[in-house]
Chains A and B, each alone.
Chain A
Amino acid sequence: MRTPRSASPSNSPGTRQNNPPRVPPNTRDVRDALVGVGRAVRLVLLLALALLFLIPFYLLVRNGLSSEADITSPEWRFFPSELHWSNIRELFDDPNVPMAHALLNSSLIAVLTTVGTLLLASLAGYGLARIPYAYADVVFYWILGTLMVPAAVTFVPSFVLVSSLGWVSTLRGLVVPTLFSAVAAFIFRQYFLGFPRELEDAARVDGLGYWRTYWQVVVPNSRPVFAAVGTIVFIGAWNSFLWPLVIGQDRDAWTVQVALSTFTTAQTVNIHELFVAAAVSIVPLLVVFLVLQRHIVAGVERSGIDD
């Protein structure tokens, strides 16, 4: 695995904080030796932990590219005896497994959810941060109030609502109720509160209203926060399980996660097919993740939840 580009010095100011203090020269050698030993121990520990963290990924790929016999062999081997790239084709050719359809559903849901959330939450965040209105605080607390109710607890009532709308097993039912993320609106509000006013003032002087100021000045200058929130929302939508399980009841409405889960609880399982399906299911996220990793980390750091 390659080291991602984010090794830029700006991301690691903390590394220089712990310089050893100035000490008299005679104790210095001992201390330097101790610090050296400590550093070595720490590095070994880190490498061991990194290995542990990577093993599950390795198993995923290893099993996905193995034959059934290799996976279930009592003689556990680190490398499969032969790589079966044909497993991937077998997965998509299997008529019992709606993998291609599930991937399509998940992609549609993830993209629509991301675009919709970015649009709705960024507009709301901007309005709250920048348009003077006497009751803006009331509206803000109305939004924050929903954070007190964890999304997972409302799955029963939300199911009731969605089913009474007749949206069960529809794309609408899977996407629309998830578009209103209070966390996303909160992050955008905090970000726009800190947006330099001079840029907007210049736009106002040029005669732009709120709407055009937002689209022509604010959005183009806020790409990092959109990228950060967008990736977090995309990962969340792609990985979400409970809501698609509850709403996507028909086979045609299954997402990748629901399809995978149905395999694991099924009576007969093609283990190698299951693993190759799981491996395929994380590829889109790994791409998104490796490309936008820096923004995710920055987004998390900047989200203000640890302030």
Chain B
Amino acid sequence: MRGPLTTELTRRLLGPQNRHLWFWIFVGPFVLGLTLFTYVPLAWSVYLSFFDAHNTVSPTDFVGLDNYTAMLGDDAFTGSLVTFLVFTAFIVPATYVLSLALALMVNRLRWAQAFFRSVFFLPVACSYVVAALIWKMSIFNGVRFGLANTVLDWFGADQIAWLSTTDPPWYWLVIVTVRLWLQAGFYMVLFLAGLQRISPRLYEAAAVDGARPGWQVFRHITFPQLRATSVAVVLLLVINAFQAFDEFYNLLSDSRGYPPYARPPLVYLYYTALGQGQNLGLGSAGAVILALIIAVVTVVQARWFGLGRKED
């Protein structure tokens, strides 16, 4: 039927000057893809997590919350969460301090600033796989030709089997330094951006008030002015630490498999869902638990630091 009602409906749908139509032509494909490849898998994952799904994506065996209780009662899974917490406790402060220090030093340079900035940013172009390879095969390889053991040798110290010693956990040093090297430059750039936004007037005012350049100025002017940047950096660092997979997998797994120590959640999920058993139901339950934890941590942290307050 072609009446005034249909015309009115079409006009409403298309909007004035077809604006609604154009909006969806521009935004539609992106939203559709995002929905299909993020929201649909997420929903499917929640669905799968209530089923016994070995090797299949369309299971029939409903098991209720069994996968969740199995996952939360699994020492290996909870242990992987602890690994993440310890890893975060090391990597977040270390990256924060190093990248802030680099930014402060580079920012004050009168010459060769671009050179130093490039050198520190360069590892960002390197992949975790390549970095893990250098760390595992050349620096910390636990035999005499490794760089770290060579240096220890110069000082007459004993050699260390870096990646297989668990007491003390020397592998931790290897894992933390890889990520530090790869990430610090990126966060340095964020801090540099923050530093350049600080008004020179604040420093002039501080000088008039007699603040000594150096620690006093840093404590009372620079650091408080970097608050917004710091919040973002810490948030990104924590979220990225939660996603740690590449360097753990490449540093610690070999032809014999993956050692039980130092297994972060994603490595554990990888072996659960895609390893020999292909237990997708259990893996999905783990992914849902992990997603919930990350969401809670993010929201709490954002609240805590007052992120988004500006929008009110």
B79 CB-CB contact with A under 8 Å: no
B22 CB-CB contact with A under 8 Å: yes
Report B-chain residues with C-beta under 8 Å of the C-beta of A20: 213
B91 CB-CB contact with A under 8 Å: no
Which of A82-90, A92-100, A195-203, A260-268 faces chain B? A260-268
A56-B34 contact given A21-B207, A154-B42, CB 8 Å threshold: no
B198 CB-CB contact with A under 8 Å: yes
Contact assessment for A305 and B232 in the assembled complex, using a CB-CB cutoff below 8 Å: yes
Q: Which of A45, A72, A278 contacts B133 (CB 8 A)?
A: A278
Contact assessment for A257 and B127 in the assembled complex, using a CB-CB cutoff below 8 Å: yes
Nearest-CB distance from B230 to chain A (Å)?
Answer: 9
Q: Per-position contact with A for B1-30: 1 when CB-CB < 8 Å, else 0?
A: 000000000000001000110111111011
Give the complex CA separation of A282 and B127 in angstroms: 8
B170 CB-CB contact with A under 8 Å: no
B262 CB-CB contact with A under 8 Å: no
Q: Per-position contact with B for A1-41: 1 when CB-CB < 8 Å, else 0?
A: 10111110001111111101110000000000001001000
Name which of A7, A264, A275, A305 has the most chain B CB atoms within 10 A of its CB: A264
Contact assessment for B112 and A300 in the assembled complex, using a CB-CB cutoff below 8 Å: no
Report B-chain residues with C-beta under 8 Å of the C-beta of A209: 22
Give the complex CA separation of A123 and B139 in angstroms: 46
Which residues of B from 190 to 234 have beta carbons under 8 Å from A?
190, 192-196, 198, 200, 203-204, 207-208, 213-214, 217, 228-229, 232-233
B169 CB-CB contact with A under 8 Å: no
Nearest-CB distance from A74 to chain B (Å)?
Answer: 4
Q: Which of B116, B200, B253, B270 contacts A17 (CB 8 A)?
A: B200
Contact assessment for B145 and A72 in the assembled complex, using a CB-CB cutoff below 8 Å: yes
Interface on chain B toward A: helix, strand, loop, or mixed SS?
helix
Contact assessment for B44 and A124 in the assembled complex, using a CB-CB cutoff below 8 Å: no
Q: Per-position contact with A for B31-57: 1 when CB-CB < 8 Å, else 0?
A: 101111111111011001000000001
Report A-chain residues with C-beta under 8 Å of the C-beta of B128: 239, 241
Nearest-CB distance from A98 to chain B (Å)?
Answer: 15
A123-B58 contact given A158-B41, A239-B128, CB 8 Å threshold: no
Contact assessment for A157 and B284 in the assembled complex, using a CB-CB cutoff below 8 Å: yes
A187 CB-CB contact with B under 8 Å: no
Nearest-CB distance from B192 to chain A (Å)?
Answer: 7
Q: Which of B26, B106, B121 contacts A124 (CB 8 A)?
A: B26
Q: Per-position contact with A for B170-195: 1 when CB-CB < 8 Å, else 0?
A: 00000000000100011001101111
Q: Which of A265, A266, A306 contacts B228 (CB 8 A)?
A: A306
Q: Which of B27, B41, B245 contacts A152 (CB 8 A)?
A: B245
Contact assessment for B130 and A260 in the assembled complex, using a CB-CB cutoff below 8 Å: yes
A46 CB-CB contact with B under 8 Å: yes
Nearest-CB distance from A209 to chain B (Å)?
Answer: 8
Which residues of A from 240 to 290 have beta carbons under 8 Å from B?
241-242, 246, 257, 260-261, 264-267, 269, 271, 274-275, 278, 281-282, 285-286, 288-289
B113 CB-CB contact with A under 8 Å: yes
Q: Please classify how large the interface on chain B is, using the bins under 10, 10 to 19, 20 to 34, 35 or more.
A: 35 or more
Give the complex CA separation of A177 and B38 in angstroms: 9
B74 CB-CB contact with A under 8 Å: no
Give the complex CA separation of A132 and B15 in angstroms: 10
Give the complex CA separation of A177 and B217 in angstroms: 48
Give the complex CA separation of A96 and B236 in angstroms: 40
A159-B138 contact given A127-B26, A143-B31, A239-B127, CB 8 Å threshold: no
Nearest-CB distance from B269 to chain A (Å)?
Answer: 6
A205 CB-CB contact with B under 8 Å: no
A306-B193 contact given A17-B198, A300-B186, CB 8 Å threshold: yes
Give the complex CA separation of A6 and B137 in angstroms: 34
Chain B residue nearest to A214 in the complex (CB): B26
B157 CB-CB contact with A under 8 Å: no
A121-B30 contact given A7-B113, A63-B138, A160-B48, CB 8 Å threshold: yes
Q: Across the A-B interface, give the 8 residue pairs with the lowest CB-CB distance, nearest first.
A: A127-B26, A21-B207, A157-B45, A157-B41, A124-B30, A239-B127, A301-B193, A152-B243
20 extra interchain contacts, Cβ-Cβ under 8 A, other than A53-B122, A54-B119, A242-B246?
Answer: A6-B118, A15-B109, A38-B214, A42-B108, A71-B138, A120-B30, A123-B29, A127-B27, A131-B22, A131-B26, A136-B23, A154-B42, A156-B269, A157-B42, A211-B22, A211-B25, A214-B26, A265-B250, A278-B129, A300-B186
- A residues with CB within 8 A of B: 1, 3-7, 11-18, 20-22, 35, 38, 42, 45-46, 49-50, 53-57, 59-60, 63, 71-74, 76, 120-121, 123-124, 126-128, 131-133, 136, 139, 142-143, 146, 148-161, 163-164, 176-177, 179-180, 182, 185, 209-211, 214, 235, 238-239, 241-242, 246, 257, 260-261, 264-267, 269, 271, 274-275, 278, 281-282, 285-286, 288-289, 293, 296-297, 300-301, 305-307
- B residues with CB within 8 A of A: 15, 19-20, 22-27, 29-31, 33-42, 44-45, 48, 57-58, 102, 105-110, 112-139, 144-145, 147, 150, 181, 185-186, 189-190, 192-196, 198, 200, 203-204, 207-208, 213-214, 217, 228-229, 232-233, 236, 239, 242-243, 245-246, 249-250, 253-255, 266, 269-270, 273-274, 280, 283-284, 286-287, 290-291, 294-295, 298, 310
